[in-house]
Amino acid sequence: MERELAVEVEAAIKASGASTFEEAQEKAKQEFEELCHVTLNIAVTGGTGAGKSSFVNAIRGVKEGDEERAAPTDVVECTKTPTMYPHPTMPNVNIWDLPGIGTEKFQTKKYIKDVNLDNYDFFLILTCTRLTEHDIMLAKEIRKNKKNFYFVRTKIDQDVKSEKRKGKAEEQTLSVIRQDLKEKLNDFPSAQIFLVSSWKLDKFDFHEMMCVLEKDLPEKKQDALTLSLPVYSIEILKKKYKAFKRGIWAQASASGAVGAAPLPGVSAAFDVTTISAFLTKVYYSFGLDDTSMKQLSDRVGKPIPADFKHSKLVKAIASKSVTALQVELTGFIVAEAIESALRFIPIAGSVAGAGMSFWSTYLALRKGLDELFTVSKKMLEMAKLK
């Protein structure tokens, strides 16, 4: 594995355009700072009853009924003003629940003025039936402001279930709905249309939609979107893993020794605090906390065995005790990483300037990331999510 990591680091240096390890580190620090401060504002809008609040809760990975974090849902319009819901574990990602358009209280022209289209990175225009003239007018205004927008047909699971009772196959139902929406969008020949269910993110067009949204975003905002998504498939888990893997290089470069006080038996060059913070973020993004696991269990309709909780690293993070986590890191990751770093430095000798501090932190972050990925993948396999 040491040789593989040496190749990774050399590739990272080459990709950065730097000629030395020190220059690449400095650039990585700057990029890491930018990543930490980048913001992503997603607007969810549409007609009354389109399922906006349920959708907002779903993409934030928040269970409806969570009084502290969930967007309120009801059969009538609940949202009176643009309401921001910060992501529970990615505070720089904000989901905006906008008021329903076209109601007596929210006429289109006034609506457009009140919500201030410039505030958002892109718009998701939701409907649960047919697109209305208000939806079309809103899309035209968004286009005038040169913002991206996407049409989202919600509650597809209900339509499929209803039509199945009439003898219609799922694909036939989806085809009819998709064609009906396209016919209403003559003014938008290249419009993106997605059919989704807020209750079954692993089905229909949700994954395809997120891939398109990510591709259309500026590069520095793509990871923010990926890391904020709930874990609904092994494929999205792998995308999160790759995003965090890219962040390891920047994190190890940004941390260095930073003068962190070592734990007993831990090299002063080893930044345990940085590693604890990073792996805790991974833990929540990978859906390993109790709340996320309960939601996964509810979604698939069966209990998820707790075998994966035998992981010492998962137990340490779940304890929410910084001291306990740091002690566990000492036994689980740190000692092995330092030993690996001692073997690693001669192998990576061509990477000038790479000292114990960088390698030990880098290796510990990678080992912890791999452990959490393995645990989360096992959990998804237990849930029979591909």
Higher pLDDT, 260 or 193: 193
Query: What average pLDDT does the segment 67-95 reach?
Result: 71
75 band by pLDDT with thresholds 50, 70 and 90 = very low
Instruction: Determine which of 48-52, 79-83, 227-231, 327-331 has the lowest per-residue pLDDT on average.
Output: 327-331
Question: Which architecture, in CATH terms, is 38-225?
Answer: 3-Layer(aba) Sandwich (3.40)
Confidence of residue 204 (pLDDT cuts 50, 70, 90): very high
Residue extents of the structural domains in the chain: 2-36+231-382, 38-225
pLDDT of 380 > 90? The answer is no
Work out the burial of residue 7: count CB atoms within 10 Å of its CB; fewer than 13 is exposed, 13-18 middle, 19 or more buried.
exposed
pLDDT at 353 over 50: no
Name the more confident of 383 and 189. 189
User: Looking at residues 302-325, what average pLDDT do you find?
Assistant: 72
pLDDT reading at 107 higher than 90: no
Rounded Cα distance, 144 and 316, in Å: 51
The Cα 37–Cα 75 span in angstroms is: 37
- Most confident segment among 261-270, 311-320, 336-345: 311-320
Rounded CA-CA distance 18/356 in Å is: 21
Q: How confident is the model at residue 257 (pLDDT cuts 50, 70, 90)?
A: very low
The reported pLDDT for the residue numbered 168 is 93
Q: Edge-to-edge, what's the strand order for the sheet holding 40-46?
A: 83-86, 93-97, 40-46, 122-127, 148-153, 193-195
- Reported as a pLDDT band with limits 50, 70 and 90, residue 255 is low
Q: Is 319 or 340 the better-scoring residue by pLDDT?
A: 319
pLDDT of 295 above 90: no
Predicted local distance difference test score (pLDDT) of residue 4:
65
The count of other CB atoms within 10 Å of the CB of residue 80 is 10
Average pLDDT estimate for 199-223:
89
Q: What percent of the chain shows pLDDT beyond 90?
A: 23
Q: What is the mean pLDDT of residues 226-245?
A: 88
pLDDT of amino acid 289? 86
| Percentages of the chain per state (helix, strand, coil), in multiples of 5 | 55, 10, 35
Question: Per residue in 137-162, pLDDT tens?
Answer: 888 888 988 999 999 999 999 999 99
Beta partners for residue 137, in sequence order:
none
What is each CA distance from 70 to 62, 86, 357, 367, 384, in whole angstroms?
6, 10, 42, 34, 27
The rounded distance, in Å, linking the Cα atoms of 386 and 379 is 11
What does the alpha-carbon distance between residue 117 and residue 226 come to, in Å, rounded to a whole number? 23
In tens, the pLDDT along 12-36 reads 667 767 777 677 767 776 776 676 6
pLDDT, the chain, mean: 77
356 pLDDT more than 70:
no
Q: Is the model more confident about 127 or about 353?
A: 127
